[in-house]
Every structure is written in structure tokens, then in C-alpha cells.
Amino acid sequence: MALISYTDAQLRELARLMRAEAEEDGEQGMLLVGNVGVNRVITDCLDFEEIRSLPDMIYQSPGGFEAVQESYFYQRAREKEIRLARRAVQGDRIHPGRFSLWFFRPPGDCPPEWFGQPFAGEFGAHCFYEPFPGECPEIH
């Protein structure tokens, strides 16, 4: 059973986002981006109180994903990324994206906090941050 509701078109949008944000980190990196995105739809806290669907999450502004501003995001989703997106919405959550709501690619080491939220871990070129326990109970 899916953690969130979605259409096939929305799943393809999530797949495109995952690829555009983390293709250089391979399938696990793309799945982690999917984890963060699904967490943003599930939760009702902090910067994500008005996020109720995949399109809300993908195109959130301000505070959304930079990839939607790049042409690479608008290329057709491939089967590999669609499969990964389906895993993300079905609840395949892995560390450090399991409870994370944010990630970014710093020019150096991962800072211990990002906008006041604690570091959860890193994978590839990206650092992941999750809310403090109890702040967003829907994702814990």
C-alpha cells in the first residue's frame, strides 16, 4: 500500500525530480531524494504544512527543489527512475533519508545543522537533515 496517493503522471514527475537531483549518486541516491519528497507530502509541519501532493512538493516555492528550474528535469522519465519513484511512494525508506525533510550538496563537508535542523547522514555528494524527534510525528 502506498504511503501517499498519486497518479501515474505524478509518479513520473517524482521520477524526473529524483533523477535531476541525484543521478550522479546512483539508484540509492535517487531513492533517498524520493524519501525526502514523500516525507514532505506525509508530514504537516515546519516548511511543509501546505504540501499535500507530489506536485505540491515538487514545485514548492519558495523552499522547493532547484532541479525544476533546469531543462534536465523536463526530460522524459526512464523506467529505472519510475521504478525507484514507485519504491519511494510504497514506503521503501532508507537511511539517511528515512526521516529526512531536507538535503543539499555543500561545497565541502556537511554542516552539523541545516536551518537549525540536525544532520542525519550523508550519501554521495548530498547531506541529509531530519527534524528533531517529536517535531514532525507523521514521519517518525
**List of residues 6+ apart from 101 with CB closer than 8 A:** 36, 39, 40, 43, 46, 47, 48, 117, 129, 130, 131, 136, 139
Query: Of all helices (H) and strands (E), which one includes residue 129?
Result: strand 126-129
Residue 79 has pLDDT above 90, yes or no: yes
Q: Could you tell me the CA-to-CA distances from 2 to 11, 39, 83 in Å, in that order?
A: 12, 12, 13
Q: How do residues 114-131 score in pLDDT, each as one tens digit?
A: 989 999 999 999 999 999
pLDDT value for 62: 85
The domain limits of the chain are: 8-129
Grid coordinates representing 60 are 514548492
**Whole-prediction pTM:** 0.95
